[in-house]
Every structure is written in structure tokens, then in C-alpha cells.
Amino acid sequence: MPVKVAVNGYGTIGKRVADAVAVQDDMEIVGVCKRNPTFEVQMALDRGLPFYTTDEEHRAAFAEKGLEVQGLLPQLLEQVDIVVDCTPGKVGATYIPTYEGHGVKAIFQGGEKAHTAPISFNSSANYKDAWGKDMVRVVSCNTTGLCRTLYPIFRDIGIEEVLAVLIRRAADPWDSKKGPINAIKPVLKLPTHHGPDLNTVLPDIPIQSMAVAVPTTIMHLHAIQVVLKRESSTEEVIDLWERSPRLRLVSGADGIVSTAQAMELAKDLDRSRADLFEIAVWRDGTHAEGNKLWYYQAVHQESDVVPENIDCIRSMMMLEEDPDKSIAKTDASLGIPPPRS
């Protein structure tokens, strides 16, 4: 029997997670819940996705627009084994009593405080920690990006310390509330929360982070400096990443000189919503010398956490014990190429 999944919060992350669940053979999407009757609701209803809303007041708002929902969130929760909460940051935690009351497992997203769930999750780094758990948080898009490239280095070479500078998109592409924007905004509280967030998954990597927001809506760029435990080479690091999942080595020499071309590549991949689930790492923007390593990577903030949510469901529902097998299964379903063997 496929695991029954609900998604609460049908926005940037929620709609992608719902679509990703729908293409798995060991889980099914029973319904999604959204508070406001925006254009996405009609589109999802047209595709036959059962829709629920949060309360009677919002149900009336849906009805006013001629949108028929199946019911309210509690009715959806009664039918499922697990809910993926994709409500806006810090809203998810307010649903804990509701999820517990219905006896459903819950996955939260990176906008929630780390203590919202006992486990913070990344597929490669700590898949087994989520095994059978009731509540888990999939870390943010930025932290997922850091985990993807740092974990293989930590595991195979060793890390003395990391300094990560995050150059962050100011808003998501759809979000006109925060724009127009014309400024570069440093995060003044230093070091930023990104380092501690990585430590919720990989506690043994000493990391400091800084961040600035810039006037772009697609992708974050990370400039990362690592002090390794031993001497290495650019070739060794690249080889390690080529053998690691959900990384896409790109190259300025091939014309990918900025996030603009990285997203153009994503469009050419012809995936749903032009998503780039992989972290783009610049082959020719990576340099190792002695025990120092520098590199750049770009994170498609709207989609990189989607495959992790699928693996997280598999671990919490005890569907697949081997992380590599779950990752391979998820990636095959989403068209993500396997790492080099």
C-alpha cells in the first residue's frame, strides 16, 4: 500500500513537493491544503488534485470564487499517514498540536526554527536519523546546498573549518510584495544563522557564515572557503563531487558564467517549472591548494529541497533503509542524473 501523503501550504515549495510525491510508486498525494484562493488552486483542481482549506472563513472565500474544496484540513489529515508542512516560515510550528492530535507524522521546512522537530534532515548526510521518526525538519535551501558539497568532503577528506559567504536572492520570482528592489543588504547579525543551521545536520563541521541579499530573484550563490584536514587537490575534490548525488558540475568555459546561464541550463533540461534540483558547482571556480579549498556554488532555492522531502518521507515511513537507494529512486523519478559510479 502506498504511503498516504498530504501537503499543507501550497506555495513555492508545497506545489513542487505535491508534484514530486505524485510521481513516486511507494507514496500517493491524497490532497493539499491552502489558505488563500489564488490562481494556483484552479490550476490544481483542473489537474484533479483534491483541495482543502484551513477553516470555514477561508472556505467561504474559496466558494465566493466558485472554487470547490473537499473540506477542511482536519478532514484531510484523517486520511493520511504523513503531512508535509510547506506553510510560510514559523507558521508550521503552530500546526504541531493539530498534526499530533490527528496522529500523523509531519515534515517541516527550513523556515521553522531548528527545535520545531527533534531531527533536521539532509538525504546524504543523515537519512537514517529520520528513520521512523514522527517529526523532522528538512533544512533550508541554503543549508541543503551546503550539506550537498561539504558532506562528501567532510566524510572523505576531513574538514578543519569552513567560511561560507552566502549571496542571497532578495525574493522568490513570484513575490512582488518585496520589490522592486535596488540595494545590497548585508545581514548585520554575525556570524549568520546559516553555519549553526548546517550544524543541526552535521554537528562536527566547524563553520562560520556571512550573508548578503542582492536584487535578484533566482538562485543563491555561495562563496565557500574550506580548511581541509589534509592536503588535497582540485582534481580530488571534483572527483568526489562527481561521485556525489544531486550536484551538477558546471563550467564558465562552457558559457555558464553566472546564475543566469545556470537557470538557462535548467530551462533547457525541460523539467517541470524549469527546476534545478541539483546544486550547480563551478568546476573552473573550484581551487584546492595544500589544505585550502575555495569554490562557488549556486542554489535554485525553489526546488533543491524537493528531493530531500521525498527521501525524508521514505525514511520516516520506513519504506527504504538504504539512503543511496532512496536517493537513486527519487532522482530517477525526477529526472536527476545519477552520480558517476
Which positions are annotated as active-site residues? 141
- Among 323, 332, 145, 146, smallest CA distance to 226 is for 146
Interacting positions 167-186 with ligand NAD (CB under 6 A) = 172
Asked if 140 touches ligand NAD (CB under 6 A), the answer is: yes
Strands 185-186 and 207-214: antiparallel
Write the CA distances from 9 to 14, 54, 167, 251, 270, integer angstroms. 6, 10, 27, 36, 26
> CB of 81: closest distance to ligand NAD in angstroms?
19
Asked if 141 touches ligand NAD (CB under 6 A), the answer is yes
H or E element in which residue 222 lies: strand 220-228
Query: Contacts with ligand NAD in 298-327 (CB under 6 A)?
Result: 301-302, 305
Site string (188-227) toward ligand NAD, x via CB under 6 A: ----------------------------------------
Q: First vs last Cα of the chain: how many Å apart?
A: 32
* 308 burial via Cβ count (<10 Å: 0-12, 13-18, 19+): buried
Of 88-96, 123-131, 249-257, 288-296, the window that binds ligand NAD (rule: CB under 6 A) is: 88-96
| Least separation in angstroms between CB 124 and ligand NAD | 17
Residue closer to ligand NAD by CB (options 299, 336) is 299
| Ranges within 263-282 binding ligand NAD (CB under 6 A) | none
Q: Rounded CA gap, 247 and 276, in Å? A: 10
Where do contacts with ligand NAD occur on this chain (CB under 6 A)?
Answer: 8-14, 33-36, 54, 86-89, 91, 109-112, 140-141, 172, 301-302, 305
